[in-house]
Structure 1
C-alpha cells in the first residue's frame, strides 16, 4: 500500500554550491526508505534506498556527488557542486513492507547566476476572500533594453502552487500585460473558490534555454465579518 501526504516546497541553490534536502519522518516503525529524482519527460529514478539505519546509493548516483544519511527521524540527501542537470523534483518515501508513504516533495532549482535577466514577483503576500478574483503579477527584467523585443510568449510563462497537501504543479499559463524597455509583465487571474486556493504561487519564465523562477507570492484567505442588526420592539 502506498499513501501520499507529502509536503511540497521549492529550494533554490546557486550553480556550483552544495545543497542538502531534508525529510522528517514522524514515525517510529520505519524500516524502509527511498529518495527519488523525478525530471519532467523522464522516468523516475531511485537515488538511494535504506533498510533501517543502512542507506545505499543506486546506479549513477553512487559517485561522490551524492550522499544520503539518517539521524534519528531526519533523512537527508546532499547534492554537491549543483548543476543545471540536477534541477528536478526530489521525493522522500518511507514506511514498512506493508505501507509506504511519501513525506516530502522538493523542486530543486539551480540558479545559474543570470546577470542580465531576472524574474520578479510584485508582491510577497496577498490577502483575499472567498469569491474574490486575485491578480498576481511577475516581471521579466533585463539590463539590455532591446531584450523585450523578444518577450517570451504566454506559453513560456507558468505558475506553480506549493501547498502542504499537494505536489507542486503547473496550474496556469500567464498572460502578457505590458511590454516596455527592459521589462515584460505577466499576470495570473484566478477566482478564489475554496480554502485550498491558499498557498504560495511561483512564477516561472522559460527564456534563452533556461527557467527563471520568482520568489513566490503567499496567498492567504481571510474571512468576512458579518454584522447582524437586532431590532427589539
Structure 2
C-alpha cells in the first residue's frame, strides 16, 4: 500500500508518493498524572538502521506541532517553544524513542504522537492521550431500600470536586445477573444540580436517574460514571432488589 505523506528530516520536509507504511510504532493509549508529576511517554518500534524519529503534539484546534526530531545519532532538534521550557527530554535507544515531561502542568494535556521514518518507509503511533487527575474529586451513589414492583425510584450520583471547573458528562450502566454491563444512556447527561462553596472552592453536583413503574426486569446494580477534571470516575453502584 502506498501513501502520499510527509517524511520528516532534521532540516527538510519532503513530499513523497513512494513511501510505504510498514513500520510498527507502539504507544500507550492513555497516561494519567497529577499536576507537578513527571511522565514518560513511551514509543517503541522495529529497528531501522537509518531513521528519523519525532514527537508531535496535537493541539486543541486540531493542528499538530512538532516537539522534537532526531536523525541517526545526532543531537535532538527541538522546537524552540518546548526547548525553552526546559521540561522536555527524550530517551533514545535501539527500538525506542521516549518523551519525558518534567513537572507537568494542565497545559501539557493533549495527544502526543510518535513518528518513525526512513527514506522509503514510515510509521506513526496511535497516540498517547495525556490527562490530569484531580486529587480532590470524589464520587458517591445513593443507597436504595428494597422495593415493590410498580414503585418509582430516583437513583442519584453525587460528585464533589475542588479546584476544577467545567461541565461533567454522566453515564449510567446497569449490570444484572447473567448479562454483561451495558450503557443505559450514551450521550452523557450534562444537566445536574450544582452548588459551589465560596469559602472552600468546592463544587458539588447531583445527577439523577428516575425510573418509574419498575418491575423485576429492572433488577440489577446501577453504576454511574462521570467524566470530570480530565478523568473518569466510577461509582460503587446502587443495587435494586425487590421484596418477595
Counterpart selection for 2:227 from 204, 214, 221: 204
Counterpart selection for 1:61 from 82, 92, 116: 82
Q: TM-score if structure 1 supplies the norm length?
A: 0.55
Gaps of 5+ in 1: 122-137, 145-150, 160-171, 188-201, 206-210, 217-233
In structure 2, relative to structure 1, the CA distance for the partners of 1:108 and 1:179 (3 Å cut) is: same
* Greater fraction of residues in strand: 1
Matching residue of 1:10:
30
Alpha-carbon distance, 1:88 to partner: 0.8
Counterpart selection for 2:119 from 73, 81, 97: 97
User: SS of the counterpart of 1:142?
Assistant: strand
Mapped partners of 2:54, 2:139: distance in 1 = 34
Aligned residues: 160
In structure 2, relative to structure 1, the CA distance for the partners of 1:141 and 1:11 (3 Å cut) is: same
Q: TM-score if structure 2 supplies the norm length?
A: 0.52
Matching residue of 2:51:
31
Of structures 1 and 2, the one scoring higher in RCO (CA 8 A, sep 6+) is: 1
Matching residue of 1:21:
41
Alpha-carbon distance, 1:110 to partner: 2.4
Deviations 1:132-189 (A, max 9, x none): xxxxxx9552179xxxxxx94xxx5288xxxxxxxxxxxx6313698799554489xx
Q: CA RMSD in A?
A: 3.9
Mapped partners of 1:140, 1:6: distance in 2 = 38
Question: In terms of Rg, which structure is larger?
Answer: 2
Q: Are 2:193 and 1:175 equivalent residues in the alignment?
A: no
Written as runs of structure 1 = structure 2, the 5 A alignment for 1:115-126 is: 115=136, 117-118=137-138
Matching residue of 1:157:
169
Gaps of 5+ in 2: 6-20, 142-155, 172-185, 196-203, 210-224, 235-244
Matching residue of 1:74:
96
In structure 2, relative to structure 1, the CA distance for the partners of 1:102 and 1:84 (3 Å cut) is: same
* Greater fraction of residues in helix: 1
Alpha-carbon distance, 1:17 to partner: 1.2
> Structure 1 segments of 4 or more deviating over 6 A?
176-181
Mapped partners of 1:141, 1:119: distance in 2 = 5
Mapped partners of 2:60, 2:47: distance in 1 = 31
Deviations 1:61-101 (A, max 9, x none): 11321111212211110111100110110100102122221
Mapped partners of 1:19, 1:186: distance in 2 = 36
Q: Are 2:68 and 1:48 equivalent residues in the alignment?
A: yes
